[in-house]
Chains A and B, each alone.
Chain A
Amino acid sequence: DAKTTQPPSMDCAEGRAANLPCNHSTISGNEYVYWYRQIHSQGPQYIIHGLKNNETNEMASLIITEDRKSSTLILPHATLRDTAVYYCIVRAVNTGTASKLTFGTGTRLQVTL
């Protein structure tokens, strides 16, 4: 699976949009971009995933560049409960073998009042 690069930490004011970038310049054509987050001491939680189109769900939006070499996770109105470590992971799906999630160090997002 392709590797990703994320900033180690970011701050965001409550109520503002949080934009978390991720570089994945070696992504392959069959690899999806997944985002997870881990709130302190809890198991990682799935947020969103996409292949090449932008995606939106009730938690966040995912913007993937046209060349698919980078993406941005957007939390439109961050709250204190969004303080967590956010992981960007690229992963092949439906390869016939277990496509393992490989976690990097992620971005620690601190939402402040």
Chain B
Amino acid sequence: DAGITQSPRYKITETGRQVTLMCHQTWSHSYMFWYRQDLGHGLRLIYYSAAADITDKGEVPDGYVVSRSKTENFPLTLESATRSQTSVYFCASSDESVGNYGYTFGSGTRLTVV
């Protein structure tokens, strides 16, 4: 199916564990983004990517690693999870063409670090 999908939807992990959140889009959009949203707060940008093999930091990148070997995938890795990384994570993609409709977001991954 066309669209942007995130997996898993829910994840519980222990402090210090490595965990990877997956994001896959089928439109071949050049740009992809990772946001986190904490309870009662807006979305904050973690990392973004302009194309395969091109990534850059957002507002809150510490503790996260990203890669983009293929245009359609943009995984987010927490190398050593901490309780402060408990959050809902949203992936988005964008086509930066004229008249584009901005970002399309996935359904989110709810991560709990215990």
Q: Which residues of A approach B to under 8 Å, CB–CB? A: 34, 36, 41-46, 49, 87, 91, 93-94, 97-106
Contacts and interface: CB of A to CB of B under 8 A. Distances in A.
Contacts of A103: 35, 42-44
Instruction: Tell which of A43, A100, A103, A106 has the most Cβ of chain B within 10 Å.
Output: A43
A36 B102 contact: yes
A98 B103 contact: no
Nearest to A89: B102
Contacts of B92: 43-44, 101
A36 to B, nearest CB: 7
Contacts of A43: 90, 92, 105-108
B19 interface: no
Nearest to A96: B96
A28 to B, nearest CB: 17
Contact of A98 (B31, B98, B100, B104): B31
A97 B50 contact: yes
Interface of B: 31, 33, 35, 41-45, 48-50, 56, 58, 88, 90, 92, 94, 96-98, 100-108
B15 to A, nearest CB: 25
Nearest to A99: B96
B56 A104 contact: no
Of the listed residues B35, B48, B105, the one surrounded by the most CB atoms of chain A closer than 10 A to its CB is B105
Given A44-B43, A46-B102, A98-B48, 8 more contacts: A44-B103, A46-B103, A46-B104, A87-B42, A91-B102, A94-B98, A101-B92, A103-B42
B102 A42 contact: no
B101 A105 contact: no
Nearest to A32: B102
* 5 closest A-B pairs by CB: A43-B105, A103-B43, A103-B42, A98-B50, A44-B105
B96 A93 contact: yes
Contact of A41 (B33, B100, B108): B108
24 contacts: A41-B108, A43-B90, A43-B107, A43-B108, A44-B43, A46-B104, A49-B101, A49-B102, A91-B102, A94-B98, A97-B50, A98-B48, A98-B49, A98-B50, A98-B56, A98-B96, A100-B45, A100-B48, A100-B58, A101-B33, A101-B45, A103-B43, A103-B44, A104-B42
